[in-house]
Amino acid sequence: MQLNGEGLALANEMILTVLLGSIAVLAVAIQAVTTLRVIARLRRNGRLKGIAGQPGVSILRPVCGIENHIEETLASTFTDAYPDYEILFCCAREDDPIVPIVRRMIAAHPQVDARLLIGDDRPSGNPKLNNLVKGWQAARYNWILMADSNVLLPTDYIASLLGRWTPGTGLVTSPPAGIRPDGPWAELEAAFLNTYQDRLQLFADEAGHGFAQGKILFWRSDVLAAAGGLVNLGMEMAEDVASTKAVRAQGLHVRVLTKPWPQPLGRRSLAAVWDRQVRWARVRRLGFPAIFAVEILSGAVAPALAATILAALGVIPGPLVLLLIIGWYGLEWALAHIAGWPRTPRDVAMWVLRDLLIPVLWVMGWAGSSFEWRGNAMTTDQITGDTTGDWPK
């Protein structure tokens, strides 16, 4: 049976209606389920009983240059009252401006076993991993935490990590929660970090599919050794992608801390925030392309646009579009409130801007395979361990 012109138009409209309705319903359902599940997680906030006893732990903190709130974040390394740990600060160059600050901190805490290791090793194409190699080799303990210098560690950070190491764990990690943003672009970065990226990472962990975040990587050394060692993590564009794959290949799980550890943001420029988001988008696309492919549907743009078209077609009442948007960001505000994350009217405006930028970032993620990290041009050549590029000395 052939459809006439009017019947064909009606069929096409029905197909469009079903497609748009499916997009809107699915997006809203994902937003609601992920947000409410993470809110429940944060309200639980109970420490899991993982590793018994108090094994020795080596803390590796790579340092390079002066960052916002750097003295506060590095000083937090010394605040844990845990009985048996060492701190290994790793720096590539003696003339780095962070070196005298680190040395002053070490001198101010003589009761803590802390050292500064300097050396420009380059066994991989990942500058941060290269900086950490000397610390990994010098570590005295089997439990090793790699924590970025701009993360603020809580006073019980070691016990929190060990408590999350439940049976079947191969790595414990935490995304950063952006706090104390100074200015609109830092607020935009917090919008990307907190109720968007952190929410999805915490939900993935709730669903049993946790993945690593390079800010915090807590290893048992034999697990990483079985995956080929620290240098093997440089075979991906980012150590968190490589860490996730290395743990899953052994039939183990990446566990995420119940609540993300904070990162004081300070003032940021739009260029710095945008470059960082493009970098992360390309890392996600290179590491997990199938998952990245559906990111275009994340954020409020896709469901709001779908609902707007349906309202224009007369399928749904117009006020339902406004209700969708209010409910969408109302859920985010509730999550930020429970978590203690920034949630002023300006922050909400940045959530909207973030969602408008997500489709652009998605395109940028597919548009290239290189990015710049701390002045280092990173390309797919570095995945294979090619270190012949012009690395700064």
CB 24, CB 307: distance < 8 Å: yes
- Burial annotation 286-307 (CB, 10 A radius, 16+ → b, else e): bbeeeebeebbbbbbbbbbebb
Question: pLDDT value at position 347?
Answer: 97
CB 164, CB 48: distance < 8 Å: yes
Question: pLDDT value at position 357?
Answer: 97
Owner of token pair 């240098």: 231
Amino acid at 230: L
CB 274, CB 191: distance < 8 Å: no
Task: Pick the closest to residue 256 from 221, 209, 290 (CA basis).
Answer: 209
Question: pLDDT value at position 391?
Answer: 28
In degrees rounded to 5, what are phi and psi of residue 171?
-170, 140
Residues with Cβ within 8 Å of residue 87, at least 6 apart in sequence: 59, 61, 77, 78, 112, 113, 114, 115
Chunked mean pLDDT (size 10), the chain, 393 residues? 63 84 93 96 79 91 95 94 94 96 96 95 86 95 97 95 95 97 97 97 95 95 93 83 94 96 96 94 88 89 95 94 96 97 97 97 86 53 40 27
Question: pLDDT value at position 125?
Answer: 80
Question: Which residue ranges form the domains of the chain, and what is each CATH number?
Answer: 47-268 (3.90.550.10)
pLDDT in tens, 79-122: 888 999 999 999 999 999 999 999 999 999 999 999 999 998 88
Tell me the HSE value of 222 on the side-chain side, using a 13 A CA sphere: 2
SS3 readout for the chain? CCCCHHHHHHHHHHHHHHHHHHHHHHHHHHHHHHHHHHHHHHHHCCCCCCCCCCCCEEEEEECCCCCCCHHHHHHHHHCCCCCCEEEEEEECCCCCCCHHHHHHHHHHCCCCEEEEEECCCCCCCCHHHHHHHHHHHHCCCCEEEEECCCCCCCCCHHHHHHHHCCCCEEEEECCEEEEEEECHHHHHHHHHHHHHHHHHHHHHHHCCCCCCECCEEEEEHHHHHHCCCHHHHHHCCCHHHHHHHHHHHCCCEEEECCCCEEEEEEECCHHHHHHHHHHHHHHHHHHCHHHHHHHHHCCCHHHHHHHHHHHHCCCCCCHHHHHHHHHHHHHHHHHHHHHCCCCCHHHHHHHHHHHHHHHHHHHHHHHCCCEEECCEEECHHHHHCCCCCCCCC
